[in-house]
Homo-oligomer: A and B are copies of this chain.
């Protein structure tokens, strides 16, 4: 099964926008074990979109088209697709009704131009729109298939995960099953993981199945992807289970979660299991950790809130941090106990540091202190990160959550041993 991606938008060709959608879709395809040999970007132009579609259908089984589904005259993906399919565009009343409702939910009236978004090539299956107004489309052409999804990233990602990848997997179904599983790790870079896992690479080289691959993923750490092929999905899953056990035996608690389980979701699960709540004191991360925690569905059970103490006076006043350098161990400790106390939480987690571009308190850019107040003790970690301001802030957030994760794992191991 081969699928390729066609991203539509003149802004991509002009370099006004970097095409992150194709990379994201490429990753989903790879994780689903679907080969992808080409990505193409094309402008908002009917003929050129059709050229791109014909070229893609000439060499792949499936094409995922992304973008050009808006309500304005420059959004012409629907027209281009209908031409390639050789069918007319028809109004879909169900789609139109959903668009109308979306506007009503926001207390607005739908503009007439939005009716264009309810146009569907005859015979196409609609992917319900849940985040925006444009629906997605599934259009079979003989043995092949074209998917169309919106170009707005958060609309696109939701639709690809919910409808496109499952449909591709279903279509591939008859053939051998290719399953993959992603183990999310934190704390080692790609080359260190490769050295640790060298015995597994050697062992697997003989059979070539399953395979291991690494995927450096920024704040999500390094992902280790296990891919297994077998006659049935059950057999492939058994191969994955066995290899996951081997990898976990080597990597231990460096493995954070599996597949889509994020660091913050794992921390939330561990807190929930222990019957604990957490409160944050964020300085250099400025709310990044809070926004990640509050994004987890059901987080109100364990997330109390945060004090984002960006100004030093907020640390001194609200968190009762002693006056002095705020990028320091004592400050991190006071922030953690202060957060626990003012937010009424069982655990206080604090981050203070220097994101740059300037140094602070004579500490170099990239310096980070993390504090964890729990069970009457305060533990402090001193970390260092490279990269630019954005990168340092993001990595510090993940590192702080990881320290809390390890602390909770140790605590439950001790409890289990008692």
Cβ-based interface call for A70 (8 A): yes
The answer to whether B311 touches A344, judged by C-beta atoms less than 8 angstroms apart, is: yes
The answer to whether A19 touches B13, judged by C-beta atoms less than 8 angstroms apart, is: no
Contacts of A285 in B (CB 8 A): 291, 294
The answer to whether B216 touches A105, judged by C-beta atoms less than 8 angstroms apart, is: no
The answer to whether B22 touches A214, judged by C-beta atoms less than 8 angstroms apart, is: no
- Interface size for A (C-beta < 8 A) is 122
Q: Could you tell me which residues of chain A, from 272 to 317, have a CB within 8 Å of some CB in chain B?
A: 277, 280, 282, 284-291, 293-295, 297, 299-300, 303-311, 313-314, 317
A304 vs B48: C-alpha distance when bound (angstroms): 50
The answer to whether A214 touches B182, judged by C-beta atoms less than 8 angstroms apart, is: no
How would you classify the secondary structure of chain A's contact residues: helix, strand, loop or mixed? mixed
- The listed residue (B30, B42, B295) touching A14 by CB distance below 8 A is B30
Q: How far is the CB of A29 from chain B (nearest CB, A)?
A: 8
Chain B residue nearest in CB terms to A360: B300
The answer to whether B16 touches A215, judged by C-beta atoms less than 8 angstroms apart, is: yes
Taking A287-B291, A311-B300, A386-B106 as contacts, is the C-beta distance between A13 and B42 under 8 angstroms? no
- The listed residue (B41, B101, B305) touching A307 by CB distance below 8 A is B305
Cβ-based interface call for A154 (8 A): yes
Q: How far is the CB of A72 from chain B (nearest CB, A)?
A: 5
The segment out of A119-127, A140-148, A390-398, A406-414 that lies at the interface is A390-398
A9 vs B314: C-alpha distance when bound (angstroms): 45
Contacts of A11 in B (CB 8 A): 213, 215, 225
The answer to whether B287 touches A113, judged by C-beta atoms less than 8 angstroms apart, is: no
The answer to whether A317 touches B344, judged by C-beta atoms less than 8 angstroms apart, is: yes
